[in-house]
Amino acid sequence: MFSGLGIAPLVLIFAAAAGAVWVAGIYLSRSTDTLDVRLGLGEALGGAILLAIATNLPEIAITASAALSHELGIAIGNILGGIAIQTVVLVVLDFAIGREAALTTRAASLVLGLEGLLVILVLAISVMGAQLPGDSLFARIEPAALLIALFWVAGLWLVNRARKGLPWHDTTGTAPDGQKEPMGHAKAKKMPDTSLARASAIFGAGAAVTLAAGIVLERSGEQIASHIGMTGVVFGATILAAATALPEVSTGIQAVRLGDYQLAVSDIFGGNAFLPVLFLVAGLISGSAVLPQAQATDVYLTALGIVLTVVYLWGLVTRPHQIVFRMGLDSVAVLVLYAGGIAGLIAVSNS
């Protein structure tokens, strides 16, 4: 689509597409909250699935576009790199809160711990699927990718059950001096008085813009990576993944400003748990098993995503009160680990 263009126009096109993703992501977030309330989805499984799809439309578009063109390296790198960089979004949100308390100190909840464990579960299955033979397809379906999707749905169901009550002294599983209002209160506060029809139209328009911008990001990004001599995996895991994480940044900042810290963390963990489900989408579109094509860099990214998630799970349990550079100790650790992880990724890709 963009072959023959120089690096300057490619960068401008990529930046414009990223801007479209940012703006569309804001409208998608607002319309999703409205649909959630108007349709009475609330904490139901349907609401969680709708939110996961809405916040990951750029990744869906990129995965579908890459699968159609059989450029699965960018798709795999974007999915697995997206998990790592979306976890780093929590660092940005922690910094945005200020100097009073760390994000995980305020958001501490057993339910969020379960969501983090779901992320680790689907990533572990991804590693297992990468070791299977390349011809492991049954009726165009990759067994490992199907298993990821099934565990994701089952995990969402269990998490939503946990939100209704846990067999603990505090049935909500929330720390006693953490977030004062229940998770999700920010949705009602930021939701405009919009009818169901208008919210549906806004959601549809936002989805269309996001999908189109996602395709442009993938195609222009592929050319940029070629121009600067960067491999598709490294580009997909860094610059492309950062661009597609913009909706999570905007919606997360809105949530923490309204004091809904648990919702901000839940959106990140929920989106990260959903991303590996896209391996099933990529497999169905491309007609080939995707996970067995994973390279050493992809397995490395998967491990990085697990490490970063574990650090924040530690933070949710221990609730660090010490603030360093306007962030909790867990966020500082995640930032350092991610920087070192990307340096290691470059080394692995060049070996």
39 token code pair: 């349709």
Separation CA 309–CA 89 (nearest Å): 12
Average pLDDT, integer, range 310-323: 90
Average pLDDT, integer, range 108-130: 93
Least confident of 9-23, 33-47, 55-69, 153-167: 33-47
The percentage of residues in the chain with a pLDDT greater than 90, rounded to a whole number, is 25
Question: What's phi and psi for 94, nearest 5 deg?
Answer: -65, -45
Per-residue CA distances from 193 to 39, 54, 203, 263 (Å): 14, 20, 15, 21
pTM for the complete prediction? Answer: 0.85
Give the tens place of pLDDT for each residue, 209-230. Answer: 888 888 888 788 878 888 887 7
Question: Which pLDDT value is given to residue 146?
Answer: 93
Separation CA 330–CA 311 (nearest Å): 6
142 token code pair: 């990759």
Q: For residues 277 and 148, is the Cβ–Cβ distance under 8 A?
A: yes
Is pLDDT larger for residue 338 or for residue 108?
A: 338
Residue type, 259: G
Question: Which pLDDT value is given to residue 181?
Answer: 64
